[in-house]
Amino acid sequence: MFSGTSDYNRIAGLDISRSKAIADGVFAFAVTLLVLGLSVPVSRGIITEHDLWLQLVMIGPELLVYFMSFITLGNFWTGHAVQYTYINKSDRHLTWLSLFFLLFVSLVPFSTTLLSQFITFRLAIAVYWANILLLGLFLLVHWEYAWINDFISATPDRERIKKTVRHRLIITESLYAGAALLCIISTYLSIALLIVIQLYYALAPTFRHQTS
Amino acid sequence: MFSGTSDYNRIAGLDISRSKAIADGVFAFAVTLLVLGLSVPVSRGIITEHDLWLQLVMIGPELLVYFMSFITLGNFWTGHAVQYTYINKSDRHLTWLSLFFLLFVSLVPFSTTLLSQFITFRLAIAVYWANILLLGLFLLVHWEYAWINDFISATPDRERIKKTVRHRLIITESLYAGAALLCIISTYLSIALLIVIQLYYALAPTFRHQTS
Amino acid sequence: MFSGTSDYNRIAGLDISRSKAIADGVFAFAVTLLVLGLSVPVSRGIITEHDLWLQLVMIGPELLVYFMSFITLGNFWTGHAVQYTYINKSDRHLTWLSLFFLLFVSLVPFSTTLLSQFITFRLAIAVYWANILLLGLFLLVHWEYAWINDFISATPDRERIKKTVRHRLIITESLYAGAALLCIISTYLSIALLIVIQLYYALAPTFRHQTS
Amino acid sequence: MFSGTSDYNRIAGLDISRSKAIADGVFAFAVTLLVLGLSVPVSRGIITEHDLWLQLVMIGPELLVYFMSFITLGNFWTGHAVQYTYINKSDRHLTWLSLFFLLFVSLVPFSTTLLSQFITFRLAIAVYWANILLLGLFLLVHWEYAWINDFISATPDRERIKKTVRHRLIITESLYAGAALLCIISTYLSIALLIVIQLYYALAPTFRHQTS
């Protein structure tokens, strides 16, 4: 049995295209699922345009958290895609590292809804941050594992790419941790900083290009 | 750190196939999610076939809004696909422009449900229209950015294609804006015109082919 | 403007791979969404194993309708895939015919839930059947359109394939119509026959192979 | 008609890429849908951080079942991917075996929610186990059918791969059956053992590599 298990592990998780496909599917779904957390106002009791306006203003914080989570998922999706631009081989372990990463992707709608419902609770920020931390950790281990096992295509700037991806993940997660810690002062401050960090990464201001 | 950031931006968002895959996923999901907005009548209190008939007639407006949103999403999906028929390179910024476009795709089920619940409210039309406007804007910027950065494959009719896609988006969005403005008179008129415009684009009557 | 519109129509809907991708996405989603129609028993009031058993038996009809809809979607997905095995070109109209087909795919979870809630109502059968009819109609028009415009790859048995796909759709829809008509006698009879037809197509008994 | 049916069966289900695509879609969706089973605490009545903590602790068992189901789906997704690494031809029957497998994939969120709601009920374990059993059975029949019909690509270690995949499925399902039987003593024991088995397969400890 055990040698059979070992055999199986040798033939499993070889198809990179499947790993990419399920990742794109989970991300596409998680991103759209976020919207289900947005509560459409119930028509009962809303009579004038002004009533509806007030209701929409009230779901403002939810919209903010939704927006933040979208950017978060976008950043991690880009991160996953970057790695697979260079990964050209795979094994069972790498596939499962990618799957565990997706486990935490699929939890984002949950922690997002939790945060939007309890926007002033530190515990909600902590859960949200733990989710982001685990996303980053699995993506980092995924990269290091691919590297150690020589699954990266041989380009001239291999070493530089290796470090770039690693540093990006470590710096990002450090910034997220800092932002999360600010919840000791105010959860709104935490969320504001999280949004700033994520927007920074999403927009990737071009003046940086000139510096380097 | 900053040179690292710049490095990362240079290797991120290069894989066009991933951008297409997540777009197809988000569209597929958003389109199907629209249906969740359709409220299946509750069995309680429905005894005769006639009762059920009345209930189904009552969700008629919802069905209309659902249908309209499906065509809207179909039009924007076609628009996204057209651009990627010609785009053969990508960078981090283009990828993020596509992601922000998808952000507003994933919001369509929300603004659709809002409109179907508040079909006589101008504010609901305004929110719906803002959603469509942002879809068009991001798709336009996406196209212009790809063009400026020379990400378009070199076909003999490059220039003509460039203008065709641009004009189409501008004309469409102008028509949408006009339809939305009609809500000052009646929201039903707005919706009717929106449906006419979208059907026009979906059906793309063939007599036009003969004119050109 | 109009010549621009015509230009746009000429460059839109050319990418077959996108049409396949969004179709697979909508089907995958619609199929899984069916399950949301299954009501998990609420824990309140269920104390013994026997209570839970009774509750599960009570959702038996829902499970039946779910199973039927899954096979229906499987059959139409296969039908869509068959066509695109042979279609090697596309235009805007073909893409939109495929999208309208997907519109009715995405409505299947709605008409399935309706039927499972009102399993003894002829109107629910009628709505369900109308949905299946429209699925078949759009798939048929899709095929005929592809044929007329010479979008089919040139294989030696072209003519035979053309007729096979066409006849299959016409025969299937005729059988569905017959089964739906049986609801005049009993809706259960209708559903039973629909399941038999769909299972027949899904299993595609091998003794037929020997006959031909 | 019958010869037409037979003709149709010969041209249906030939496109392997579509089978993979719908499988990845269904898995991606089922995995993310699991999260919807997680009940976000309602803000009413939760005033302090401690209240929220208590609520989150209370959904602990749900999280456990969610985690277990994610690993289950991951294992079966890997199993499906392994088979299609070697399958290079397809017919209508193989496609439908894959679809029936997906039917039970899409039922996993249902049986997971059922189990998380009735975690001390043997019947809930039985339903959950029946779901897993049918997943394994269809995957096994799928493999044997592909083998008998010579749909497997000709690699030197064909015979070994054939047995490896078969044995893996039989051993796994035997272990699942054993774990499920433990519910006679305690459902928590069953769930604990199921998690251990699934984690064992997910992690696939590397010391096995050295043994073989």
Q: Residue by residue, what is the 3-state secondary structure of chain B?
A: CHHHHHHHHHHCCCCHHHHHHHHHHHHHHHHHHHHHHCCCCCCCCCCCHHHHHHHHHHCHHHHHHHHHHHHHHHHHHHHHHHHHHHECCCCHHHHHHHHHHHHHHHHHHHHHHHHHHCCCCHHHHHHHHHHHHHHHHHHHHHHHHHHHCCCECCCCCHHHHHHHHHHHHHHHHHHHHHHHHHHHCCHHHHHHHHHHHHHHHHHCCCHHHHHC
Q: Do A28 and C28 touch (CB under 8 A)?
A: no
Given a contact cutoff of 8 angstroms between Cβ atoms, the answer to whether A123 and D56 are in contact is yes
| Res. D127: pLDDT tops 70 | yes
| Res. C1: pLDDT tops 70 | no
Give the B:C interface size as CB pairs under 8 Å.
130
The residue type at C18: R
- Nearest C-alpha of chain B: how many angstroms from A40? 6
Give the pLDDT of residue C5: 61
- Beta carbons within 8 Å of D57's beta carbon, 6+ residues apart: none
Alpha-carbon dihedral angle through residues D67, D68, D73, D76, given to the nearest 10 degrees: 140
CB atoms within 10 A of CB C42: 9
- Whole-Å CA distances, B115 to B143, D35, D128, D159: 29, 27, 40, 60
Q: Do D85 and A3 touch (CB under 8 A)?
A: no
The average pLDDT across C47-58 equals: 87
Q: Which residue has the higher pLDDT, D150 or B209?
A: D150
Whether C2 is covered by a domain: the verdict is: no
Contact list in B for residue D32 (CB cut-off 8 A) is none
Q: Do C211 and D99 touch (CB under 8 A)?
A: no
Give the pLDDT of residue D75: 92
In tens, the pLDDT along C171-206 reads 989 999 998 888 888 888 888 898 888 888 888 765
Q: Is D133 on the interface with C (CB under 8 A)?
A: no
Bridge partners of residue A87, in order along the sequence: A152
Q: Which residue has the higher pLDDT, C51 or B42?
A: C51
The phi and psi torsions of B14 (rounded to 5 degrees) equal -90, -20
Q: Which residue has the tokens 């044997």?
A: D144
- Nearest C-alpha of chain D: how many angstroms from B107? 18
Give the pLDDT of residue C58: 85
Give the pLDDT of residue B21: 93
Q: What chains are in contact with A, requiring at least 3 Cβ pairs below 8 Å?
A: B, C, D
Q: Is B103 on the interface with A (CB under 8 A)?
A: yes
Q: Is C164 on the interface with D (CB under 8 A)?
A: yes
Q: Do C208 and D5 touch (CB under 8 A)?
A: yes
The average pLDDT across D125-145 equals: 94
Given a contact cutoff of 8 angstroms between Cβ atoms, the answer to whether C96 and B201 are in contact is no
Q: Is C170 on the interface with B (CB under 8 A)?
A: no
Cα(B139)–Cα(D179) distance, rounded to whole angstroms? 53
Q: Is D178 on the interface with B (CB under 8 A)?
A: no
Bridge partners of residue A152, in order along the sequence: A87
CB atoms within 10 A of CB B12: 25
Contact list in C for residue D9 (CB cut-off 8 A) is 204, 208-209
Give the pLDDT of residue C139: 95
- Nearest C-alpha of chain B: how many angstroms from A63? 10
Cα(A115)–Cα(A123) distance, rounded to whole angstroms? 9
Whether C188 is covered by a domain: the verdict is: yes
Q: Do D109 and C35 touch (CB under 8 A)?
A: yes
Given a contact cutoff of 8 angstroms between Cβ atoms, the answer to whether D79 and D170 are in contact is no
Give the pLDDT of residue D205: 65
Give the pLDDT of residue B80: 94
**ipTM value for the complex:** 0.87
Q: What is the reported pTM?
A: 0.89
Q: How many domains, chain D?
A: 1
Q: What chains are in contact with B, requiring at least 3 Cβ pairs below 8 Å?
A: A, C, D
| Distance from the Cα of residue D142 to its chain's centroid | 14
Give the pLDDT of residue A5: 61
Cα(B8)–Cα(A34) distance, rounded to whole angstroms? 27
Given a contact cutoff of 8 angstroms between Cβ atoms, the answer to whether D71 and D108 are in contact is no
In tens, the pLDDT along A13-69 reads 778 899 999 999 999 988 888 877 677 777 777 888 888 898 888 888 788 888 888
Query: In b/e form, how buried is each residue of A41-74, taking b as 16+ CB within 10 angstroms?
Result: beeeebeeeeebeebbeebebbebbbbbbbbbbb
Q: What 3-state DSSP class applies to A109?
A: helix
Low-confidence ranges of chain B (pLDDT < 70): 1-6, 37, 205-212
| Distance from the Cα of residue D94 to its chain's centroid | 18
- Of A160, A191, A198, A177, the closest CA to residue A78 belongs to A198
Give the pLDDT of residue C41: 76
With bands split at pLDDT 50, 70 and 90, how would you rate the model's confidence at C157? confident
- Nearest C-alpha of chain D: how many angstroms from A178? 21
In tens, the pLDDT along D105-114 reads 999 988 988 8
Give the pLDDT of residue D97: 94
Q: Is D1 on the interface with C (CB under 8 A)?
A: yes
Cα(A91)–Cα(D78) distance, rounded to whole angstroms? 11
Mutation target among B99, B116, B120 for the A interface, most CBs of A within 10 A:
B99
Given a contact cutoff of 8 angstroms between Cβ atoms, the answer to whether C88 and B13 are in contact is no
Highest mean pLDDT: which of C22-26, C205-209, D189-193?
A: C22-26
Give the pLDDT of residue B200: 85
Whether C10 is covered by a domain: the verdict is: no
Q: Is B15 on the interface with A (CB under 8 A)?
A: yes
In tens, the pLDDT along A63-100 reads 888 888 899 999 999 999 999 989 988 999 999 999 99
Contact list in B for residue A38 (CB cut-off 8 A) is 110
Segments forming the whole domain that contains residue C67: 17-211
- For helices A60-86 and B16-33, the axis angle rounded to 10 degrees is 140
Whether C7 is covered by a domain: the verdict is: no
Cα(A4)–Cα(A22) distance, rounded to whole angstroms? 27
Cα(C138)–Cα(A137) distance, rounded to whole angstroms? 48
Q: Is D25 on the interface with B (CB under 8 A)?
A: yes
The residue type at D76: F
Pair of tokens at residue A23: 């990742």
